[in-house]
């Protein structure tokens, strides 16, 4: 995951330790013991007890399946793993806040993502770490791999290339393509914010939001909030607020500048945060207590950098009515695992051609609705271990796909 997203399910409650020991001393580190040999294996879903099973699993029986699929391509979903399997694809350029560590070093994270897909969503996932960073090469490689999968989960590809990779894959493939660093984060943020607004008696159209970070997550969060009816959004990067008059914006930031910041605010984060109702941190760095104190009464603070939030939750709580982080040791953890297993489960169940904005909004509404009567300042989002999460999100996504004509069954 990029340093912009910072809401990965691999949340930690303490700073990331320095590189581990060398040689035999790896055995002294429980993390190395846990990962030895990898975290995944391939297992058979059918018996192979003798000659008869062998003749069905492989030649000659498999030829009948191949012929049927050749004549009716949609049968591939019924007679292979395609309908329940996604590819988790990365180039290793923006991993877990570690940055550009390359495809081999990214493999443990992709294995972990696949583990979460299976554990939480019952979705099989295959880690694919590509030794290329060129947009064209990434797109062409994934297109050629796609026939074996029911969906593509893009992961830890640095911005702004990730936007172009996702857009081009969506244009060329007829299976769901989902960049979790963007859209998984956005879904969970919207769900938490929906409940936080209810608690503080605000309406989306009357709420002012400041987003720190204009990378993958920042762009997607701004877009989903706009789609949900939030009109007053200011996005900042290292050089200050995005606005159309800035000459240093890449295409993704320029497009965002044209749809946000309706008052045309300029200046840095401190300038635009004064009086704001909501702060969403997706960039790291530090936001001082004095800046939080200048926000509107009953403010909402989502400080999502991991492992160190932009503002410590105890400090934010002195001035804000609702505080959320990406950490597991504080209330209101904004965790992508609340989104991606259910989103893909729902999309695969109806053989959706893509994951639309409407499907993402439906996922966020379903997540928010699970809190129900338990809604409180320290309970605006369900736990990742709430067994209702994946079924609710999957059902909402599937229904939205049918409603939009994207379902093929």
How far, in Å, CA of 33 to CA of 49, rounded?
34
Q: Is 140 exposed, middle or buried (0-12, 13-18, 19+ CB in 10 A)?
A: middle
What's the pLDDT tens digit per position in 33-58?
A: 899 999 999 999 999 999 999 999 99
For 358, phi and psi rounded to 5 degrees? -65, -35
Token duo for residue 96: 């877990």
Cβ neighbour number for residue 104 with a 10 Å cutoff: 10
Q: Is 248 exposed, middle or buried (0-12, 13-18, 19+ CB in 10 A)?
A: exposed
Is 180 assigned a ligand-binding role in the annotation? no
Are the C-beta atoms of 213 and 206 separated by less than 8 Å? no
- Pick from 11-15, 105-109, 281-285: least confident: 11-15
How far, in Å, CA of 338 to CA of 80, rounded?
27
Are the C-beta atoms of 192 and 332 separated by less than 8 Å? yes
Q: Is the pLDDT of residue 366 over 60?
A: yes
- The pLDDT, as a whole number, for residue 25 is 62
Q: Which among 146, 42, 149, 180 has a CA at the least distance from the CA of 85?
A: 149
Token duo for residue 338: 């609340």
Is 306 assigned a ligand-binding role in the annotation? yes
Is 250 assigned a ligand-binding role in the annotation? no
* Pairwise pLDDT comparison (21 vs 27), residue with the higher score: 27
What's the pLDDT tens digit per position in 169-213?
A: 999 999 999 999 999 999 999 999 999 999 999 999 999 999 999
Catalytic residue positions, numbered: 58, 113
Q: Is the pLDDT of residue 29 over 60?
A: yes
Helix, strand, or coil (residue 325): strand
The fraction of the chain above a pLDDT of 90, given in percent, is: 89
- The pLDDT, as a whole number, for residue 284 is 79
- The pLDDT, as a whole number, for residue 402 is 98
Is 155 assigned a ligand-binding role in the annotation? yes
Average pLDDT over residues 320-330: 95
Contacts 24+ apart (CB under 8 A), 307-312: 307/11, 307/12, 307/13, 307/14, 307/15, 307/16, 308/15, 308/284, 309/281, 310/212, 310/279, 310/281, 310/283, 310/284, 310/285, 310/286, 311/279, 311/281, 311/286, 311/287
pTM: 0.91
- The pLDDT, as a whole number, for residue 206 is 97
Average pLDDT over residues 204-233: 97
- The pLDDT, as a whole number, for residue 235 is 98
């Amino acid at each position: 995951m990029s340093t912009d997203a910072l809401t990965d399910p691999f949340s930690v409650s303490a700073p990331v330790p320095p590189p581990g020991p060398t040689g035999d001393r790896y055995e002294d580190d429980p993390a190395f013991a846990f990962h030895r040999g990898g975290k995944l294996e391939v297992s058979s879903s059918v018996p192979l007890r003798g000659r008869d099973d062998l003749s069905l699993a492989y030649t000659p029986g498999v030829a009948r399946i191949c012929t049927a699929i050749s004549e009716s391509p949609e049968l591939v979903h019924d007679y292979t793993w395609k309908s329940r399997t996604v590819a988790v694809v990365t180039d290793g350029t923006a991993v877990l806040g570690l940055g550009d560590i390359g495809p081999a070093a990214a493999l443990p994270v992709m294995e972990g993502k696949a583990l979460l897909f299976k554990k939480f969503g019952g979705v099989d996932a295959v880690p694919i770490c590509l030794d290329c960073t060129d947009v064209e090469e990434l797109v062409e490689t994934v297109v050629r791999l796609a026939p074996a999968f029911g969906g593509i989960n893009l992961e830890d590809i640095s911005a702004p290339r990730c936007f172009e990779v996702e857009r081009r894959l969506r244009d060329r493939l007829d299976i769901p393509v989902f960049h979790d660093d963007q859209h998984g984060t956005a879904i969970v943020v919207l769900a938490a914010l929906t409940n936080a607004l209810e608690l503080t008696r605000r309406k989306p159209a009357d709420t002012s939001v400041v987003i720190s970070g204009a990378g993958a997550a920042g762009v997607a969060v701004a877009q989903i909030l706009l789609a949900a009816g939030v009109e007053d959004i200011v996005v900042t990067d290292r050089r200050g607020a995005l606005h159309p008059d800035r000459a240093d914006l890449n295409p993704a930031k320029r497009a965002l500048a044209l749809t946000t910041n309706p008052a045309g605010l300029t200046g840095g984060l401190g300038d635009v945060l004064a009086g704001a109702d909501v702060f969403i941190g997706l960039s790291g760095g530090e936001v001082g207590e004095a800046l939080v104190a200048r926000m509107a009464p009953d403010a909402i603070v989502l400080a999502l950098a991991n492992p160190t939030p932009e503002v410590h939750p105890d400090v934010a709580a002195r001035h804000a009515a609702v505080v959320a982080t990406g950490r597991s040791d504080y209330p209101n953890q904004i965790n992508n695992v609340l989104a991606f297993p259910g989103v893909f489960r729902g999309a695969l169940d109806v053989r959706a051609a893509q994951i639309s904005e409407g499907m993402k909004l439906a996922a966020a509404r379903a997540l928010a609705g699970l809190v129900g009567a338990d809604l409180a300042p320290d309970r605006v989002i369900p736990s990742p271990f709430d067994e209702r999460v994946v079924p609710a999100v999957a059902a909402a996504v599937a229904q939205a796909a049918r409603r939009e004509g994207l379902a093929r069954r």
